[in-house]
Amino acid sequence: MPRFIDFHVHPPVEDYLRGPFGPYMKGLEEMFGREFTPMTPDEIADRYRSLDGRAVLLAWDASTATGQAPFSSERIASLVRGHPDVFIGFGSVDPHDGAAAVSGVHGAARLGLRGLKFHPSAQGFDPRDRRYFPIYDAAQAEGLVCLFHTGYTGLGAGVRGGHGIRHEFANPMHLDRVAAAFPGLDVVMAHPSWPWQAEAIAVAQHKTNVWLELSGWSPKRFAPELVAAVRGPLSDRTLFGTDFPFLTPEKWLRDWETLLIPDATTEQILWGNAARLLGVDA
């Protein structure tokens, strides 16, 4: 198995799966057709280490929108300290917290985290709104990558009202304004952005501070225009990710092989692009 950096890992520890993700787990387990058992940090690290992989662990703070306690930047930093050879950390701030969110961005940088995770649908915010620009300005100043969920979400799927989650905030075209206003900020669009795949590709091709990320979907389900983009013009700004534990590296990589992507491009997407973006040594 080739080495890889998994750019999208929800740490499946007890206080994550039963904490902020608790309200969504029943629906996610029904959607994926299996139960998700909590793992220890050592078990997660050992699994990735055995695969010659590294894992970008994502914090989560949707406190205002959901009323759930966050899985904080500090908690992610503690996991990274336990296994720095495997884990890379991304923090999170509640966009509705104003000055406290900006302070949280600087705090994430002080903790040694490499980026920030945003989920506009779950956090209930329109990333285009200028009220959130101070957050991006702080991230740009700190050199933090900003990862945004785009497209469909399994959170709240199959429930009347979808737990109040609104897909409208996850249109990748909303990030065009962010990337234009902050050219020094690297913006990563998480997941194939269905039903807005063409919009995501257009934004990424237009602005070189925008990256595609492929987590959450089997490569067998990628749209033809996405496969063409990652083979060609966006091969140097496309990132591998799984959405672990919901999709595993083993399954994703098996399915990737069916696309017959050239080996050099595969190495870029699995390792080289993320290593360059995050400043990871070879």
What pTM, to 2 d.p., does this model score?
A: 0.96
Cis peptide before 219 (omega within 30 of 0): no
pLDDT band at 90 (very low <50, low <70, confident <90, very high): very high
Question: How distant is the alpha carbon of residue 261 from its chain centre?
Answer: 23
DSSP 269: I
**Nearest to residue 185, comparing CAs of 207, 216, 212?**
207
Q: What domains sit in the chain, N to C, each tagged with a CATH number?
A: 4-278 (3.20.20.140)
For residue 167, count CB atoms less than 10 angstroms from its CB and return exposed for 0-12, middle for 13-18, buried for 19 or more. Answer: middle
Q: Cα separation of 173 and 166, whole Å?
A: 16
Answer yes or no: is pLDDT of 26 > 90.
Answer: no
Answer yes or no: is pLDDT of 79 > 90.
Answer: yes
Summarize the confidence of residues 74-78 as an average pLDDT: 98
Q: Cα separation of 146 and 148, whole Å?
A: 6
pLDDT at 195: 96
User: H or E segment at 187?
Assistant: strand 187-190
What tokens does 217 get? 């979907």
What tokens does 263 get? 């080996």
**Nearest to residue 179, comparing CAs of 152, 214, 139?**
139
pLDDT at 282: 63
Query: Average model confidence (pLDDT) for the chain?
Result: 95
pLDDT at 69: 93
